[in-house]
Amino acid sequence: MQIEFEVLPKQTAFLQSTSKITIYRGGIRSGKTFVLCVNAILRAMQGRRQCIVSFSYPMLRDVVLDTCLKILDKNEIPFQFHKQEMTLTVGREKILLRSGDDPDSLRGTEFSDCSVDEARNFTTDYIIDILMGRLSGSPDGQIFIATTPHGKDWVYKLGEKPETLLITQKTGENTFLHGNFVADLKARYSGEYFRQEVEADIVDTDTGIFRIGWWKMFDTLPPGVPIRTVQSWDTAFKAGTENDESVCTTWAQFKDGFYLVDVLAERMEYPALKAAMRLQASIHSPDVILVEDKASGQSLIQEMRTESSLPILPIKVDSDKITRAHASTPMIEAGHVHVKAGARWLRKFTDQMTAFPHDKHDDIVDSVTQFINWVRRQGSRAPTVSTRSSVAEGQATITENRVSIEIPRHHFGGRRPSIKSLTRGYL
pLDDT tens-digit profile, the chain (427 residues): 677 778 999 999 999 999 999 999 999 999 999 999 999 999 999 999 999 999 889 889 999 999 999 999 999 999 999 999 999 999 889 999 999 988 888 988 899 999 999 999 898 999 999 999 999 877 899 999 999 998 888 999 999 999 999 999 999 999 999 889 999 888 777 677 788 889 999 876 556 788 888 889 999 999 999 999 999 999 887 655 567 899 999 999 999 999 999 999 999 998 999 999 999 999 999 999 999 887 767 888 989 899 999 999 999 887 888 888 888 988 998 889 999 998 999 989 988 888 888 777 889 999 999 999 999 888 643 333 333 333 344 556 666 566 666 655 544 443 333 333 333 333 3
Contact 244, 363 (CB under 8 A): yes
- Provide the CATH topology of domain 2-178: Rossmann fold (3.40.50)
Write down the pLDDT at residue 401. Answer: 63
Cβ contacts of residue 244 below 8 Å, gap of 6+? 236, 238, 267, 361, 363
**In this structure, what DSSP letter does residue 39 have?**
H
Contact 98, 59 (CB under 8 A): no
Strand partners, 307: none
Contact 78, 417 (CB under 8 A): yes
Report domain extents, the chain: 2-178, 212-378
What is the separation of C-alpha 221 from the centre of its chain, rounded to a whole number of angstroms? Answer: 37
363 three-state secondary structure: helix
**Fold match between domain 2-178 and domain 212-378:** no
Contact 235, 273 (CB under 8 A): yes
Q: How many CB atoms lie within 10 A of CB 373?
A: 21
Contact 149, 169 (CB under 8 A): no
Q: How many CB atoms lie within 10 A of CB 73?
A: 12
| DSSP result, 177-198 | S-TTHHHHHHHHS-HHHHHHHT
**Separation between Cα atoms, residue 252 and residue 140, nearest integer Å:** 60
Domain 212-378 indexed as CATH 3.40.630.190: no
Cβ contacts of residue 277 below 8 Å, gap of 6+? 233, 248, 289, 300, 304, 310
Side chain identity at residue 264, one-letter code = L
Q: Where are the alpha helices (DSSP H) in 289-424?
A: 295-307, 321-333, 346-355, 363-378
